[in-house]
Structures are given as structure tokens and as C-alpha cells.
Structure 1
């Protein structure tokens, strides 16, 4: 599948659509090409082709973006079609699948700030900052990490039921930095394994608590 077609598909992914709407939104004129593209996506667990059209899950745009990157698409082209909401949905789905209760856009005060996604299991929390844009330099990543660590500390003060909180930055791609200021920097395709293994490497990362 040509990478450019995968980028075009990102603009056309909606919860429920038809072949005609998909062609119009993606800019793909040929219905046969669009059908082939939709079949390719479905074979890679992105979208479902039904008798009435095509259905996409809330996180399918991000899964399609990950697939596009694997096929060699330019990261800046891909990121233009994504929002932080796409990342929030996927992070929440993964955390829920592991038994976490989740909240998005968690507001904190004194100082006023926000955490994109918080997953809580018993008294343990994972606080996720979703970054969907192009690669960041080391200085920027260190700044993001310090701010996320501070948010994790604020989370403990705002919810006394949480005794430990792990701040994490989730990115679209693999950064050269894996840990910044003790805060894990996790590419979206590795977030599931991170959630699985996080309690095993708590001594190696920053933990608020």
C-alpha cells in the first residue's frame, strides 16, 4: 500500500462512513483504490467493512497513523491529521483494558494545570501527557518532563486516595530520549507494554508519592 494513500485515509476516518464519503473526504477519486485501501486497513485491524458502509472505532485514526509511519510516511504529514484527543482516546482504552479507571483533561489548581489522561488502579496512578507533534529537542523534552512530574505531585494533593503516581509522556514516534528527568518518554506503539511492565521498574523512574 502506497504511504501517500494512508496519509489521505487519515482525513476520512469517521465513526460511520460510506465509500462515497470516504472518497470525498480523502480526496481519492478512484473507488477501486479506496476499496483496496479500506480493505488494507481492515486487514490491519483498522476499521470494519459492513453491509451498510465502514465503521471506525474512536482510536482507529491513531492506529492508522501508526501504520502509516511503519510504511514510511513523513511524520509531519501524519501529525497534521491527528489531535491530542486521538491520543487521549487510545491511552484511555489501553488503561481501561488493564483495569484502570480513567479520566481525561483532569483539572488541577494552585497552580492551575491539566493532565491529559489519568488512570487509577487502587492507590496507584499513571498520569499521561500526550504529545502528537513532530520530534522535540532535548531541551524541550526536559521541560515537558519537569512539568509532568510537577503535575503528578499536584495530583496526589488533589486526590488523597492516590498514594503513588507515575508521570509519563506519550509520543507519536520513538524519541532519542527514553527517560527525561526520570519521566518515561513512551512512543504510542509501546504504551501498552509500558502499562504492563510499569510497576516492575518503579525504582528506575520518577514516582510522585
Structure 2
């Protein structure tokens, strides 16, 4: 659902003191296809908020400040939207019972290749904590392959806001949200460096 706002409210929401600066920014956003309307009467959808957050991260904005304006659902929608734009069939909040598990986002290609995404709204997280989440995501992805016959190969992925570059932990790519599109586009080139799970086994 879109939300209409005035330039004055935009200044308040964005923390911008100058109306002229705010007008310049809104014109730039509109020129990039983010938002609708004019600089004096703007309308933003949840997808526009995600696109703006991604631009802010790419421009070097503080991740913690950006995270205050995004929810768990925003991360899931962003990941699903990126995968859908690349031709994946996407599902969100995929739940299993016995054992009880949930996958945030699963994108499956026509060839049976899948990305199993865990979206983390981390502000700060230790390496040991990240490792634990990676191990859990491997187990969820293994369960996914046991249940989904149309998936032959899957890569478990952690997508997070608070990171400057992609890194691999426990064989699992931990990808910052601002770089997720590039990662998903080039993932086939990473398969020799990450944990790849097949129906009967897991191999690096």
C-alpha cells in the first residue's frame, strides 16, 4: 500500500532541515522511479522504501540508522523481489512441521536450482552467533530438499543489513542486502566456494 506525504513531512521523516535539499532529493528519487507524484505531494510504497534503503546503503549511509526504517517483512520482500526479477519462482515464510522449521525466502529456478534465504535484521552480531545461524540454515535447506522434489540443488544463504561486503562463514555466503542482487545474479560463479546441498549429500 502506498503512503502519501508532503514535503514538510518528508523533511521530518528523513531528518532533513532544508526544504530545498528535500525537494532536490525527492526529484532525484522520482527520476529513479522511486515514488510517485511530485516533489510537493509524494506517494511511497513498501517497495519504494526498500529501494531507497538500498540506495542509502550503497551510498555509504550508516546501516544501523537505515535498519530503523526497515522491518523483517521488508527484507523478505526485497529478497523475493530480487529473485523474481531474475526468473526464480519465489515463496516466503515456508513452514515445515516434524521438525518445525521456517524458511524466510526460497527461490527456485526452472532447472531445479534453489537459493534458501534466511533474512537477518542484525545491527551487531558476533562471528560465533553468525556461525550458529549458518549451521541452522544448512539444516533447514537440507529439510527443504527432502520435501521438495522439484529442487535438485540448493545453496543456503544468510542475507543481512549490517555488513559491508559478502563473506563466507561455515561455507555459507553471508550477503549484505545492498549486494544481494549482484550475488544472486552471479551465484553460479560462487558454487565452488560455498556449501552446495544436493538431495542426498552436502559438498563444498
TM-score, shorter chain, exceeding 0.5: yes
In the alignment, which of 146, 152, 155 is matched to residue 141 of structure 2? 152
Alignment coverage as a number of residue pairs: 196
Q: Are 2:128 and 1:139 aligned? A: yes
Separation in 1, partners of 2:46, 2:100: 29
In the alignment, which of 192, 195, 199 is matched to residue 184 of structure 2? 195
Query: Residues 165, 141 of structure 1: CA spacing in aligned structure 2 closer, same or farther, 3 A cutoff?
Result: same
| More deviation, 142-151/168-177 | 168-177
Q: Which runs of 5+ in 1 are unaligned?
A: 1-13
Separation in 2, partners of 1:204, 1:108: 29
In the alignment, which of 58, 71, 75 is matched to residue 83 of structure 1? 71
Name the Cα RMSD after superposition. Answer: 2.7
Contact 1:108 1:158 in 2 (8 A): no
Contact 1:135 1:175 in 2 (8 A): no
The alignment's TM-score, normalised by the length of structure 2, stands at 0.82
| More deviation, 28-37/72-81 | 28-37
Q: Which runs of 5+ in 2 are unaligned?
A: 199-204
Alignment partner, residue 112 of structure 1: 100
Separation in 2, partners of 1:51, 1:78: 22
SS in 1 for 2:99: coil
Contact 1:19 1:31 in 2 (8 A): no
Separation in 1, partners of 2:7, 2:164: 38
Alignment partner, residue 183 of structure 1: 172
Separation in 1, partners of 2:143, 2:78: 24
